[in-house]
Amino acid sequence: MQIAVIGAGDASPEEVEAAETVGYLLAQNGAAVVCGGLGGVMEAACRGAKEGGGRTVGIIPGTAGENPYVDIVVRSGLGHARNALVVGSADAVVAVGGAYGTLSEIALALTMKKAVFGVKTWEIDGVFPCLTPEEAVLTAVRAARLSH
Contact positions vs its own copies (CB under 8 A)? 2, 32, 55, 57, 59, 63, 71-85, 88-89, 99-101, 103-104, 106-108, 110-112, 124, 126
CB of 84 to its own copies, least distance (A): 4
Q: Which is nearer to its own copies, 42 or 74 (CB)?
A: 74
Nearer residue to its own copies within complex by CB, 21 or 56: 56
Nearest to 134 by CA among 38, 44, 36, 17: 17
Paired sense of beta strands 56-60 and 92-96, if any: unpaired
Cβ proximity to its own copies, 47 vs 55, nearer residue: 55
CB-CB neighbours of 124 under 10 Å: 14
